[in-house]
Amino acid sequence: MFIPRKGEPGNQIDRPGQYVVYGWGRSYFTHKLTAALDYYEARWEMRPKTSEVEQELRLRSGTHQVPVLHTPENWLIADTTPLLRMLDARFPDRAMFPDGPLGVLVHMVEEYFDEWIARTTVHWRWNYPENHEQLSLDAAYGDPELARSIAEWGVKVCRATGVSSQRQQEAAEQEYRRILDAVAAQLEQTPYLLGDRPCAVDCIVLAGLRAHFFHDPAPREALYDAYPAVVAWVERDAAQWGGEGSLVPFPDSTAFARFVLAEMVETYQPYALGNRRALSDGDRAFVINVYDEDVSYLARPYIEQSRKMVVDHIATGLTKADQGRVRAWLGQVNLAPAFAP
């Protein structure tokens, strides 16, 4: 994150009296942040990232991406996982990341949705032409020429994230149906995905459903009517949670968390490690075998940065005794190659 010092450029956006989210209503990570703000019971509003504010947002947040959070003290900050950690300190009774080893487990499950399932959101949006007109025009604020370039960009992103072949597209959709099956089954046992209260995992799963899978024409037609209990959860008012409850303890957690951790072994983990090797070797792309097919992915620095956040969480956020517990558990769930410090 970058916050300019007094006297540096960037003073067109007025200091807000509450939290302001600069984002897009169909953005995965915008909805992750707004779901968390609702659970925090924070005062917030959404504003579009228009051309009038784009330059200052980019300068002061250090990114062209959304969302950017404008805080009451006039900070402009991006990157949702660190943002949630900052907000946890401000709303400690409603924190989205618990302390100790359980917080690591939450972080790892969140990482799967942040960095692996993001490719599924891209596929189900941009590999289906029936989505393009509505969504590209929305993203372009009604500008037809810009909308065409956005749709073309979306198809390129599908190639970069390995969902161009029919096999990978079908596998991504089947994988997401397994996720929704696991979500529906968990909601029969607990009101939230990791227990009796929400956490960062609920925020990112809700984000995918609200921004993409239950909104975009193609995935909505395929999924919405098939998962009524999940629809009810998505539409539940965050105010129904009064701040009470607890998460299922580490290391057992919930069936949903165990399902995701098992999925990560054959998908997220080789993807993250392949990306790490490519960056280390100076390669622009890497190939791994996913769902019985060799797939090429663009090497991206942020994937490695995000993985290292989990590693650093273990290395610096736990006591020595808890580090030992987490290391042993990582071996048991076969995810030590990706996350053991």
With cut-offs at 50, 70 and 90, classify the pLDDT of residue 12.
low
Q: Give per-residue pLDDT as tens, 36-95.
A: 999 999 999 999 988 889 999 999 999 989 999 999 999 999 999 999 999 999 999 999
Last residue of a domain, one of 30, 63, 94: 94
Instruction: Specify whether 84 is located in the same domain as 145.
Output: no
- Give whole-number Cα distances, 62 to 1, 42, 140, 232, in Å: 6, 24, 22, 37
Predicted confidence (pLDDT) at residue 194 exceeds the cutoff of 90: yes
Is it true that the peptide bond before 16 is cis, omega within 30 degrees of 0? no
Predicted confidence (pLDDT) at residue 11 exceeds the cutoff of 80: no
Element (H, E) at 70: strand 68-70
Instruction: Specify whether 60 is located in the same domain as 136.
Output: no
Predicted confidence (pLDDT) at residue 192 exceeds the cutoff of 90: yes
Strand extents, DSSP E, the chain: 19-23, 44-48, 68-70, 76-78, 285-290, 293-298
Last residue of a domain, one of 94, 111, 132: 94
Predicted confidence (pLDDT) at residue 138 exceeds the cutoff of 90: no
Give the pLDDT of residue 162: 98
Across the chain, mean pLDDT equals: 94
Mean pLDDT value of segment 17-39 = 96
Predicted confidence (pLDDT) at residue 6 exceeds the cutoff of 60: no
Q: Which domain holds residue 25?
A: 19-94
pTM here? Answer: 0.94
Mean pLDDT value of segment 23-44 = 97
- Number of compact structural domains in the chain: 2
Instruction: Specify whether 115 is located in the same domain as 58.
Output: no
Token pair belonging to 284: 């622009």
Residue 4 maps to a domain: no
